[in-house]
Amino acid sequence: MTLWRHEARLLLRQRLAMIALALLAVLTVAALGAGMAEVSRQHAAIAAIPAAQAEDIGAIAAWVDREKDAGSAAYYSFHPTWNAPSPLAFAALGMRDVSPYILRVRALGLEAQIYDGDTFNPELALPGRFDFAFVLVFLAPLFVIALCHDLVSGEREAGRWRTLAALPYGGAALWRRRSLLRLGLLSAAIGLPFALAAAMSGVSPGAILIVLLLVLAYLLFWVGLCALVGRLRWSSVANAATLAGLWLVLVLVLPTLGHVAINRAIPVNQGAEIALAQREAVNRAWDIPRAETMRRFYAGHPQWADSPPLETAFHYKWYFAFHQVGDESVAKQVRAYRHGLETRDEAARTLGWVLPSVGVQALLTRMARTDLTAQLAYRDAIRHFHRRLREFYYGYLFRDRPFGKADFERAPRFDAAP
Amino acid sequence: MNPTSLIARDELRLMRRNRVAVIACLLLVLLTLVAVASSWAHQKGIEDLRARQQHEAERAFDAQPDRHPHRVVHYGTFIFRPLSALAAFDPGVDAFTGNSMFLEGHRQNTANFGDVNQSSLLVRFGQLTPAFVLQAVAPLLLIFLGYGAIARETERGTLRVLMMQGATRGAIVRGKLRALGAVALLVALPAILGLAALAATSGAAILPTVAIVLGYGAWLLLWVTVIVLVSTLVGRSRDALLALVAIWAVSVVLLPRVATDIASAAVPLQNRLQTEVAIARDLREMGDSHNPDDPHFAAFKRSVLQRYGVTRVEDLPVNYKGLLAVEGEKVTSALFDRYSGESYAAQGAQNGIVSAVGVISPAIALRSLSMAAAGTDFAAHRGFLEQAEAYRYDLVQRLNRLQADGVTYADDTARDAGADRRKRVAAGNWEEMPDFAYRAPDGATLAARSLPGLAVILGWLVFAGASLAIATRRLGERQ
């Protein structure tokens, strides 16, 4: 134990090491603060939905109530959906800055609505966010390198290594003590602020523990890399240059190469083609006999088939039927598009098993539910909600029931946690 | 041969003997070539795809059968943002902005299907482009090759020897600068050649290409100067290396992210839901088209009747419903313009904050210079969005006027069995609607937009050069 205390005292006297540890702790705290501020902004935006929505729907209800036309109600009412940030989202914001977390939909064709984005500044999205995941994945390895690159070579250059190696508990044991001490302190500089912030945000103890283990494992990887390079018995400065080069390759170059390779190997037929095809299908309905549309619609949805036949005048049930038929006509492309996205995501995850930087980022964003999988899950939730919306309005349209002010209250509400 | 050249030659010989350095240089050149090739292929692919889709969308629009003009307002049209000529060098925000837009009446839609929403999480690690290699990777290589330039001589005491042999302080520093500068040139050459080839084949303007070459040249020269400066100031080569890597990490990796977080916290953007609700509220206040007694639309009706000298809308020589559609679109579009203008202004303010941070981090200044000259920054994207909106407004109003002139009011309000047929106008009209033609900003505009970034980098270069001059005078004193 005295040996450990002695090592700690030695480390404390190194100005560079102490500055590095303090700087890492400060960066971690800043990143956690920035992440928590962003998450609270997103919570505030979601909390502001009901008031805005009440005003909007209230105005529509006021004039629809005069004619009580269910079609107008369905056509003009937008219904909000949202994807609340998970408790851990502050640590890895992932895609939440570029993918919408609030989306309003109407009972009309969903394929023309579901890919809409929210307002964001592309120039701010380009460099990425300053969050905990960034500090851990990108910056922490540099601190490991700064503290561990000269553990043996530094002593050798000072002419002390032979003496140290000859001492009891010297040599390899000494190196182990020093490495573990540095690993422990670096992990603490990152882990303690994180654990505190996570506990404040209501992250479950199990998840906190997993992230802490992840931090430890990732730093251990870099300490191990330092040890491997150290075994080459090069000078301290050659070690530092080699390790910084490895960092560049592992954290910056290989992930970007992987991105190019994945997008090349797994082509995703552009989503824009779905939108084009759906529009064609929807608008064609105006140029073909209306009965044909209704036949197709009733074939898929027999529960409404007993609705009275169309007359010459415009009827909204036909309008909504052809929107749904339009959606259904591109279902196959939608599945293929989604499958392509999932395959790309899967390939990146596989790369994460080989590249620790990618692996840590993937795991953190998965746990924080801020990755592509979470985005697709949100889309699923929107689809589910949209089905309920359609069912709700069809109950009025196909049964020719009047739609009054009170009926607006009965419309389904998005349930964020299905 | 003068001492400066001798020292430079000596330094280069030392680098050539360092096998790691040679391999690193070769790897960087290889990486640049891969970046140029993949970026170019990616751009070609996107360009072809978007051109094909644009063509397909135009064909579909023109091939519409006889339709009621208002149906075509809702049928709308898709437009695809063409890539700028230099996007393969620096694609900028292209991956983050949607690349297709659906234009229709009554609504202003977002640009959708950006690459970022169609890619794996790797997209957030950065993109392998020539710009990325020169911005991030090349400086680090220069650091590895140059951190010991002077510090090594100081550490080993060879500095004294050199000076005793008659080399002045200035000659030593200039020699090291020249050697490292030669490496920088070598490192930058493949990317610059790639840029030149790109500019030549894609017909890019000369001025922005020159701005990019100047900007990256100044950037690498700045690093060469800073490396020699730190190597002069710091006595031990290991400390010089650590200090330089720290400077690199802070300016190239850390500050760009911190700057964006500061900007997004300082200037909030109104989200789409709030904007739509606000537009709907303003519309209700200006006039409710669903309310027959609404003062705004009642006044509009009176003015129309007065202009034609009739008392009933049925007696108008044109279709009143078409006129109403023109007026409605005018009112909503004015609101769209106002709200999108506010959003652009807010985003511009955010970018202004990032640029302000760029004064202390030339990496940010270089990024904005590069994107601005390549025509892939926010300003260029905004230009596209504004042209798209202008086109949308023009197209919708042409269709609304077609409804006013081509469909009679009696037919438009009829509900008998044959009315649907009579409401339609001939299919030949669709071909006469103009297609969207994006006008890219000209070379002078792009080059002008890149000037602030260039000024920051040159300012830093002057500052670093002056510091080095001062440091040179004190070289070798602390021993």
DSSP-assigned letter for residue B104:
B
User: Which chain B residues are closer than 8 Å to A278 by Cβ?
Assistant: none
DSSP-assigned letter for residue A139:
I
Distance from CA of B258 to the nearest CA of A (A): 6
User: Which chain B residues are closer than 8 Å to A242 by Cβ?
Assistant: 20
- How confident is the model over A281-336, as pLDDT tens digits? 999 999 999 999 999 999 999 999 999 998 888 899 999 999 999 999 999 999 99
H-type helices in A231-355, by residue range?
236-247, 254-265, 271-284, 290-300, 316-329, 331-354
Say yes or no for a CB contact (<8 Å) between A55 and B268.
Answer: no
Distance from CA of A123 to the nearest CA of B (A): 6
Say yes or no for a CB contact (<8 Å) between B122 and A256.
Answer: yes
Please name the member of A34, A55, A63 whose beta carbon is closest to the beta carbon of B277: A55
When mean pLDDT is compared across A19-33, B22-36, B176-190, the lowest value belongs to B22-36
Bridge partners for A1 per DSSP: none
Please name the member of B111, B290, B347 whose beta carbon is closest to the beta carbon of A63: B290
At residue B19, the pLDDT reads 76
Residue of A32, A124, A354 for testing the chain B interface, max B β-carbons within 10 Å: A124
Chains A, B: CB contacts within 8 A come to: 273
Query: What SS3 state is found at B68?
Result: coil
* Confidence band of B64 (pLDDT split at 50, 70, 90): very high
Cα B417 from chain centroid? Answer: 54
Chain A residue whose CA is closest to B124: A128
> Which of the pair, A15 or A90, is modelled with greater confidence?
A90
At residue B479, the pLDDT reads 45
CB B387 within 8 Å of CB B439: yes
Distance from CA of B2 to the nearest CA of A (A): 31
Q: How far apart are CA B73 and CA B397, in angstroms?
A: 9
B126: Cβ–Cβ under 8 A, 6 or more apart, which residues?
Answer: A128, A252, A255, A256, B132, B136
Q: How far apart are CA B336 and CA B105, in angstroms?
A: 12
A352: Cβ–Cβ under 8 A, 6 or more apart, which residues?
Answer: A358, A359, A360, A361, A362, A363
Q: How far apart are CA B52 and CA A339, in angstroms?
A: 23
At residue B125, the pLDDT reads 87
**Residue pointed to by tokens 């091939």:** B63
B201 close to A (CB below 8 A):
no
Average pLDDT of chain A?
Answer: 91
B113 close to A (CB below 8 A):
yes
Bridge partners for A102 per DSSP: A82
B57 close to A (CB below 8 A):
yes
Instruction: For chain B, give every domain's residue range.
Output: 3-473
B112 close to A (CB below 8 A):
yes
Mean pLDDT within B293-311? 88
The percentage of residues in chain B with a pLDDT greater than 90, rounded to a whole number, is 58
Cα B281 from chain centroid? Answer: 33
Q: How far apart are CA A310 and CA A268, in angstroms?
A: 41
**DSSP assignments along A353-406, one per residue:** HH-HHHHHHHHHHHHTT-SHHHHHHHHHHHHHHHHHHHHHHHHHHTTT----HH
At residue B292, the pLDDT reads 62
Cα A15 from chain centroid? Answer: 39
At residue A316, the pLDDT reads 94
- How confident is the model over A165-207, as pLDDT tens digits? 888 877 788 888 889 999 999 999 999 999 999 999 999 999 9
Burial of A171 (0-12, 13-18, 19+ CB in 10 A): middle
Residue B78 parent element (H or E):
strand B77-80
At residue B160, the pLDDT reads 86
Bridge partners for B80 per DSSP: B100
Angle between helices A254-265 and B19-62 in degrees, nearest 10: 30
User: Which chain A residues are closer than 8 Å to B99 by Cβ?
Assistant: 272
**Considering only residues 347 to 366 of chain B, which have any Cβ-Cβ distance to chain A shorter than 8 Å?**
347, 350-351, 354
User: Which chain A residues are closer than 8 Å to B56 by Cβ?
Assistant: 276
Query: What SS3 state is found at A114?
Result: coil
pTM of the model: 0.91
Chain A residue whose CA is closest to B34: A257
**DSSP assignments along A198-218, one per residue:** HHHTT--HHHHHHHHHHHHHH
Distance from CA of B316 to the nearest CA of A (A): 25
Say yes or no for a CB contact (<8 Å) between B109 and A260.
Answer: no
* Confidence band of B290 (pLDDT split at 50, 70, 90): low
Provide the edge-to-edge strand list for the sheet that holds B111-112.
B77-80, B100-103, B111-112
User: Which chain B residues are closer than 8 Å to A371 by Cβ?
Assistant: 121
At residue B263, the pLDDT reads 94
Please name the member of A116, A253, A314 whose beta carbon is closest to the beta carbon of B137: A253
Please name the member of A37, A41, A255 whose beta carbon is closest to the beta carbon of B122: A255
Average pLDDT of chain B?
Answer: 90
Please name the member of B42, B117, B254 whose beta carbon is closest to the beta carbon of A98: B117
- How confident is the model over B4-48, as pLDDT tens digits? 898 899 888 888 887 777 888 888 888 898 898 888 888 888 888
B291 close to A (CB below 8 A):
yes
A246: Cβ–Cβ under 8 A, 6 or more apart, which residues?
Answer: A225, A229
- How confident is the model over A52-81, as pLDDT tens digits? 999 999 999 998 998 899 999 999 999 999
Q: Tell whether the model's pLDDT for residue B407 goes beyond 50.
A: yes
- How confident is the model over B192-227, as pLDDT tens digits? 998 998 888 888 889 999 999 999 999 999 999 999
Distance from CA of A67 to the nearest CA of B (A): 11
Residue type, A247: W
Q: What is the ipTM of this complex?
A: 0.89
At residue A410, the pLDDT reads 94
Please name the member of B65, B116, B277 whose beta carbon is closest to the beta carbon of A56: B277
B119 close to A (CB below 8 A):
yes
Say yes or no for a CB contact (<8 Å) between A260 and B38.
Answer: yes
At residue A417, the pLDDT reads 60
- How confident is the model over B197-206, as pLDDT tens digits? 888 888 888 9
Chain B residue whose CA is closest to A67: B290
Q: How far apart are CA B125 and CA A259, in angstroms?
A: 9
User: Which chain A residues are closer than 8 Å to B453 by Cβ?
Assistant: none
CB B228 within 8 Å of CB B468: yes
Say yes or no for a CB contact (<8 Å) between B102 and A344.
Answer: no
At residue B478, the pLDDT reads 54
Say yes or no for a CB contact (<8 Å) between A117 and B261.
Answer: no
CA dist list (Å): A242 to A103, A149, A246, B235, B385: 48, 9, 6, 21, 46
User: Which chain A residues are closer than 8 Å to B116 by Cβ?
Assistant: 95, 98, 125
Handedness of CA B231, B236, B238, B244 (dihedral sign): negative
At residue A418, the pLDDT reads 45
CB B366 within 8 Å of CB B453: yes
Neighbour-count burial for A321-355, b at 16+ CB within 10 Å, e otherwise = bbbbbbbbbbeebbeebeebbbebbebbbebbeeb
User: Which chain A residues are closer than 8 Å to B269 by Cβ?
Assistant: 119-121
How big is chain B by its Cα radius of gyration, in Å?
A: 31
At residue B38, the pLDDT reads 87
At residue B85, the pLDDT reads 86
The percentage of residues in chain A with a pLDDT greater than 70, rounded to a whole number, is 99
Say yes or no for a CB contact (<8 Å) between B256 and A122.
Answer: no
Residue of B145, B247, B261 for testing the chain A interface, max A β-carbons within 10 Å: B261
Please name the member of B64, B119, B354 whose beta carbon is closest to the beta carbon of A263: B119
Please name the member of A115, A134, A257 whose beta carbon is closest to the beta carbon of B112: A115
* Confidence band of B258 (pLDDT split at 50, 70, 90): very high
Q: Tell whether the model's pLDDT for residue A158 goes beyond 90.
A: no
| Largest CA-CA distance found in chain B, in angstroms, rounded | 107
Q: How far apart are CA B37 and CA B88, in angstroms?
A: 9
Say yes or no for a CB contact (<8 Å) between A358 and B121.
Answer: yes
Q: How far apart are CA B305 and CA B315, in angstroms?
A: 9
> Which of the pair, A9 or A315, is modelled with greater confidence?
A315
> Which of the pair, B37 or A360, is modelled with greater confidence?
A360
- How confident is the model over A238-286, as pLDDT tens digits? 888 889 889 989 998 899 999 989 988 988 877 888 888 999 999 999 9
Residue type, A67: E
- How confident is the model over B95-135, as pLDDT tens digits? 898 778 899 988 888 888 788 888 888 888 888 899 999 99
Please name the member of B24, B34, B257 whose beta carbon is closest to the beta carbon of A127: B257
Chain A residue whose CA is closest to B20: A242
At residue A20, the pLDDT reads 86
Q: How far apart are CA B209 and CA B228, in angstroms?
A: 29
> Which of the pair, B236 or B196, is modelled with greater confidence?
B196
At residue B291, the pLDDT reads 65
